[in-house]
Amino acid sequence: MIPTRYKSKLRKGLSWPLGAEAITAGLGDAPHVADLSLWFTDGVTHPVAAFQRVVRDALPYTLMVAEYRPEKRGYNLSNSMAKSGWHEAKWELHVTPVPAPWRAAAGAALRELGLPAVVDWLRSSERAGWESRRRHIQLVFAAADGTLTSQVSDGV
């Protein structure tokens, strides 16, 4: 099971589209699954008025982001920073909540399209030089039609 590093308390009416078990199962034996950590964050709900507009107008928004950050080199670190692993490479999966009525559609879209896209992205990490730059895949859900699109960043 992918370890959960953080899980926000949700406001009334919000729900997680998938839990840790379903995400872990959906990623299967893809490369770096053992290196991932899960972050269930409610950042999509701030500011509240902006999120209310997203819900009211069924605008697309990010459900999940898988991110790789390479090792930080050349930094003088304090002992506490070194012990905490601040400089080490990071593999993270960030999940955002959905309004409860959207949960089934968002969860289905993640299972059918989103998690397979993350698996493909993780498999692409086996190319030479891939891990030299920061990279991510963003999964954007459009509640109006129940679609999910992926947007890949090839690094900076």
Q: What is the pLDDT along the chain (156 residues), one digit of tens a residue?
A: 999 999 999 988 899 999 999 999 999 999 999 999 999 998 765 677 887 888 888 889 899 999 999 886 655 656 565 555 555 789 999 999 999 999 999 999 999 999 999 999 999 998 888 888 889 999 999 999 989 999 999 876
What element of type H or E holds 20? Answer: helix 20-27
> 106 and 69 in contact (C-beta within 8 Å)?
no
Name the residue among 17, 12, 70 with its Cα closest to residue 40. Answer: 17
Going by C-alpha positions, the residue among 23, 65, 69 that lies closest to residue 44 is 65
Helix axes 115-124, 20-27, angle to 10 degrees: 50
Is there a contact between 25 and 76 (Cβ–Cβ < 8 Å)? no
Rounded Cα gap, residues 122 and 145, in angstroms: 27
Domain count for the chain, please give it: 1
Burial class of residue 79 (count of CB atoms within 10 Å of its CB; 0-12, 13-18, 19+): exposed
Q: What is the pLDDT of residue 89?
A: 81
Parent domain of 116:
4-153
CA-CA distance, 66 to 37, in Å (whole number)?
A: 10
User: pLDDT at position 130, please?
Assistant: 85
Q: What is the pLDDT of residue 88?
A: 78
Whole-model pTM: value is 0.87
Contacts of 20 (CB under 8 A, 6+ apart): 1, 2, 4, 38
pLDDT, residue 49, reads: 80
